[in-house]
Structure 1
Amino acid sequence: MIKLLRFSAASEATGRPRTSFYRAIKAGLLPPPIKIGEASAWPDNEIDLVNKALIAGKSETDIKKLVSDLVAARSYAA
């Protein structure tokens, strides 16, 4: 089951403070949030996969591709 993480949990999971977290989203290194009404959240599996790619030493190019693929897959998840 996929859990949705609010900002504080997603930030903690990545080890990035607010500014760095949002810069990484802008750079394509983290997936953008999904909107749930007025709130924003991140699927925990997406954050987990990005963390695993970082731990594995993947390049920024590889991580950007992963993030792009994850965001594209959102429309097929339902």
Structure 2
Amino acid sequence: MSTSQLQILSRREVEVLTSLSRSTLYALVGRGEFPTPIRLLPTRSVGWSKEEVEEWIRARMAGRGHG
């Protein structure tokens, strides 16, 4: 992937995209079950790779039962 295609999502955008609450999101990150956020600034500013979040969603969809 070229850097021109790289997109960073805010926490709120990740919450909307996944339908996860902030607490659930960070619990999953803490357990290594969700992509780790990217620190954007030395302070509290973080974001997530859109590609990694979408891959996580696709993996959930692929793992669901059929029938």
Q: Which structure has the larger Rg?
A: 2
- Match runs of 1:1-78 below 5 Å: 1-37=5-41, 38=43, 39-57=45-63
1:6-44 residue CA offsets vs partner (Å, 9 max, x unmatched) = 100011111100111111101111111111113100010
Q: Give the alignment's TM-score, normalised by structure 2.
A: 0.79
Distance (Å, rounded) in 2 between the aligned partners of 1:34 and 1:21: 14
Structure 2: state its 5+ residue gaps: none
Q: Secondary structure at the match of 2:63?
A: coil
- Structure 1 residue runs of 4 or more that deviate by more than 4 Å after TM superposition: none
Aligned residues between the structures: 58
Q: Counting helix residues as a fraction of each chain, which structure ranks higher?
A: 1
Distance (Å, rounded) in 1 between the aligned partners of 2:25 and 2:53: 11
- How many percent identity over aligned positions? 22
Distance (Å, rounded) in 2 between the aligned partners of 1:54 and 1:14: 11
